[in-house]
């Protein structure tokens, strides 16, 4: 199933790639159907692994890679449905395909794991957190496209790629939608963590580094949504906010994982 899933990812990416550089419109619906089928098969794949291994796919790094691939694809699929804009899929789905390639080639079946990792509320907490951080990563990608296109418009220098991209208004809208999705999912992850984790971990602390930083990231993006809805930050400023927020999120996670102590450690 892992290799079959990889084939579906490659087919989906190639269909988006071909459609991006071609003038034919008949592939627009076919590629969305291909992405939908890939997502459904991916869910079946996760259910199958969970059933036979006895734990959610969050134990090894290659299971996480597959989960990230799903998160990228699922978030993009939601954005495509919300906006009906299909011209950016090739840039987003490329990264999903890369993560799934690494997962399919190197994934191993692990049957004996820490009992905590067999807990489904924990799995839901982890999955929603990954989905949330993936969404804000995609928002940063759209912001980067926005700034590049903005620069090209100012210099009157357009390549074939930029001619096929949506306009600045649509890229800004996609950035905003991705941030809303990320904020909602991170909020769910935080609520699950606050309500369930204290009963599961004797050493739990609300002052845990990853909890504090995740809450801070969620608050920052919540403020960004408010400022954007009030049109206090728009256009180029909003694109920069998205990128700066993403950089802060990544640095915060790295700081919490490498430097600060946390009970989020299941090595034993």
Q: What is the pLDDT of residues 146-199, one digit of tens each?
A: 998 888 888 777 666 667 778 889 999 999 999 999 999 999 988 887 887 776
E strand or H helix at 1, and its extent? none
Across 104-127, average pLDDT: 76
Highest mean pLDDT among 144-148, 196-200, 249-253: 144-148
More confidently predicted of 40 and 258: 40
Q: Is the pLDDT of residue 14 over 90?
A: yes
Of residues 115 and 255, more confidently modeled: 255
Q: For the chain, give the number of residues.
A: 268
Q: In this structure, what token pair is assigned to residue 184?
A: 């909602």
The contacts found for 162-170 with CB under 8 angstroms, 24 or more apart, are 164/20, 164/21, 164/87, 165/87, 165/88, 166/85, 166/87, 166/88, 168/235, 170/83, 170/85
More confident residue, 262 or 196: 196
Q: Check residue 202 and report its DSSP letter.
A: T
- pLDDT averaged over every residue in the chain: 85
What pLDDT shows up at residue 211? 80
Burial profile 50-89: b = 16 or more Cβ within 10 angstroms, e = fewer: beebebbbbbbebbbbbbbbbbbbbbbbebbeeeebbbbb
Compute the average pLDDT of residues 26-46.
89
Give mean pLDDT, residues 15-24.
81
Q: How far is CA 19 from CA 12, 83, 87, in A?
A: 11, 18, 8
**Percent of the chain's residues with pLDDT above 70:** 84
Q: CA 174 to CA 83: how far, in whole Å?
A: 7
Span 104-126, average pLDDT: 76
- Residue 105 CA, chain-centre distance (Å), reads 21
Provide the pLDDT for residue 268: 45
Domain ranges of the chain: 1-113, 118-268
Q: Which residues have C-beta within 8 Å of that of residue 152, sequence separation ≥ 6?
A: 158, 159, 162
pLDDT tens digits for range 212-239: 888 899 999 999 999 999 999 999 999 9
Given this model, what pLDDT does residue 267 score?
47
Q: Rounded distance, CA 30 to CA 265, Å?
A: 43
CB atoms within 10 A of CB 214: 22
Q: Within a 10 A sphere around the Cβ of 131, how many other Cβ atoms?
A: 23
pLDDT at 160: 63
CA dist., res. 75 & res. 48, Å (int): 22
HSE-CB for 86 with a 13 A CA cutoff: 21
Of 53, 117, 122, residue with least CA distance to 266: 117
**pLDDT score of 266 more than 50:** no
Number of H helices, E strands in the chain: 9, 0
């Amino acid at each position: 199933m892992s290799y079959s899933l990889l084939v579906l990812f490659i087919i989906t990416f190639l269909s988006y790639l071909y459609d991006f550089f071609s003038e034919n419109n008949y592939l627009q619906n076919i590629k969305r159907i291909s992405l939908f089928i890939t997502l459904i098969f991916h869910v079946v794949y996760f259910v199958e692994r969970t059933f036979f291994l006895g734990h959610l796919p969050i134990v090894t790094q290659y299971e996480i890679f597959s989960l990230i691939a799903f998160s990228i694809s699922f978030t993009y699929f939601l954005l495509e449905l919300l906006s009906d804009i299909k011209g950016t899929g090739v840039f987003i789905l490329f990264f999903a395909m890369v993560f799934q390639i690494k997962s399919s080639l190197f994934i191993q079946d692990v049957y004996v794991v820490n009992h905590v990792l067999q807990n489904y509320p924990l799995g839901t907490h982890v999955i929603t957190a990954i989905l949330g951080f993936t969404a804000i990563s995609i928002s940063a990608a759209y912001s980067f496209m926005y700034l590049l296109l903005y620069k090209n418009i100012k210099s009157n220098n357009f390549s074939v790629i930029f001619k096929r991209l949506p306009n600045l208004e649509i890229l800004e809208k996609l950035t905003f939608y991705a941030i809303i999705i990320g904020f909602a999912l991170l909020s769910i992850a935080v609520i699950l963590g606050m309500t369930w984790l204290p009963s599961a971990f004797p050493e739990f602390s609300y002052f845990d580094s990853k909890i504090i930083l995740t809450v801070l990231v969620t608050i920052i993006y919540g403020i960004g949504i408010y400022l954007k809805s009030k049109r206090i930050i728009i256009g180029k400023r909003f694109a920069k906010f998205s990128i700066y927020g993403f950089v802060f999120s990544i640095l915060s996670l790295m700081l919490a994982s490498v430097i600060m102590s946390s009970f989020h450690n299941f090595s034993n």
